[in-house]
Amino acid sequence: MSAVIEASGLQKSYAGQRVVDGLNLSIRKGECFGLLGPNGAGKTTTLRMLLGLTEPDAGDARLLGLPVPQAAREARIRVGVVPQMDNLDPDFSVAENLLVYGRYFGLRDSEVEARIPALLEFASLTNKRDAKVPTLSGGMKRRLTLARALVNDPDVIFLDEPTTGLDPQARHLIWQRLRELTSQGKTLLLTTHFMDEAERLCHRLAVMDNGRLISQGTPRELIDRNIEPQVVEVFGERAAAWAAAHAAQYSQRFEVSGETVFCYVQEAQPLVAHLQAQADLRYLHRPANLEDVFLKLTGREMRE
């Protein structure tokens, strides 16, 4: 299977600090690939190097088979980008934003105009065609940004935190659209720190921290490889004291975070039975998810 995005040994430092440190990546055609990591992990810098916008200090990157940044211009003709922060043209209407952006790809006005109805339809913005950008809601702006990234009918779409700051309804609509794009055979590379987003959308994921990829695979593989299958969360004022006395006895591994104890177990039944007898403790038993993996791999302490 041919790789659409490839990186080997990518490195980048700013002011002596290594932001991306020997990154290897291979993303196949038609895949939705998620790059996870806490703030400052190097996700955006990685995207910028893969797009040919930032030159790596070392290593090689290829985008759609072309070396970047050397042939970035040619490669970007077939790439769409949804940036982390909105950069729509506030002076223009929805349709004008699409028209003007299409021209940057060397498209003729007639070509772009022919595509605008379908793009608006895709973004659920058909009745907002002539609305000015400042009058749009956050979700509409994101959808317009997504439609704008599709104006050149790209093969690959880069999305940097596409749903940050959106309410659940707006987020679900974006997810639905991204799934449509993968089903059309487009390749998606997205960064996020929403684990549910990653788990739902991505075929494969990589967890990144301190500029390195620390684990890679399908969401299921990441969970199976890194963590016990069951989690029991124990909370209440007495939780910490309970953990000190009993947690080790009933779980393979446990973590105390504030008033919650996270117990990771192969088999939850003995622990649950024990907890049912403790009247002043509440608990939640659930399967392990990506967020557990993420917190295990990148730690619980605050970043930045």
Q: Using an 8 Å Cβ cutoff, are 18 and 211 in contact? A: yes
Is residue 158 within 8 A of residue 32, CB to CB? The reply is no
Q: Does 180 bind another protein (CB under 8 A)?
A: no
Which residue, 6, 41, 29, is CA-closest to 298? 41
Q: Would you say 159 or 263 has its CB closer to another protein? A: 159
- Exactly one of 60, 89, 167, 180 binds another protein (CB under 8 A); which one? 89
Cα–Cα distance measured from residue 161 to residue 139, given in angstroms and rounded to the nearest whole number: 13
Site string for another protein, 147-176 (x = CB under 8 A): -----x------------------------
* φ, ψ of residue 185 in degrees (nearest 5): 90, 10
Which of the residues 5 through 44 are near another protein (CB under 8 A)? 14
Which two three-digit tokens encode residue 67?
Answer: 């070396």
Among 16, 106, 168, 258, binds another protein (CB under 8 A): 106
* Cβ neighbours of residue 148 closer than 8 Å, sequence gap 6 or more: 80, 88, 97, 98, 101
CB of 22 to another protein, least distance (A): 18
* Distance in Å, CB of 296 to another protein, minimum: 31
What character string, x for contact with another protein (CB under 8 A) and - otherwise, covers 47-86? ----x-xxx-x---------------xx-xx---x-x-xx
Looking at the Cβ atoms of 76 and 115, the one nearer to another protein is: 76
- Which residues in the 215-244 window bind another protein by CB under 8 A? none
Query: How many residues bind another protein, per CB under 8 A?
Result: 28
Binders in 107-146 for another protein, by CB under 8 A: none
Residue among 150 and 263 whose Cβ is closer to another protein: 150
Handedness of CA 141, 143, 146, 147 (dihedral sign): negative
In the complex with another protein, the residue whose CB is nearer, 11 or 124, is 11
Least distance to another protein, CB of residue 220, Å: 33
Fill in the DSSP letter of residue 285. E
Question: What own/partner pairs with CB < 8 Å and gap ≥ 24 does 222-225 have?
Answer: 222/290, 222/293, 223/288, 223/289, 223/290, 223/292, 223/293
Residue 136 or 247 having the CB closest to another protein: 136
- Residue 54 sits at φ, ψ, to 5 deg, of -125, 135
Question: Which of 105, 122, 175, 235 is in the footprint of another protein by CB under 8 A?
Answer: 105
Least distance (Å) from another protein to the CB of residue 284?
Answer: 42
Q: Rounded to whole angstroms, how far apart are CA atoms 232 and 285?
A: 4
Among 8, 87, 135, 176, the residue binding another protein under the rule CB under 8 A is 87
Dihedral angle of Cα 59, 65, 70, 73, to the nearest 10 degrees: -140
Distance, in Å, from the CA atom of 228 to the CA atom of 246, rounded to the nearest integer, reads: 18
Q: Residue numbers of the site for another protein (CB under 8 A)? A: 14, 51, 53-55, 57, 73-74, 76-77, 81, 83, 85-92, 96, 100-101, 103-106, 152
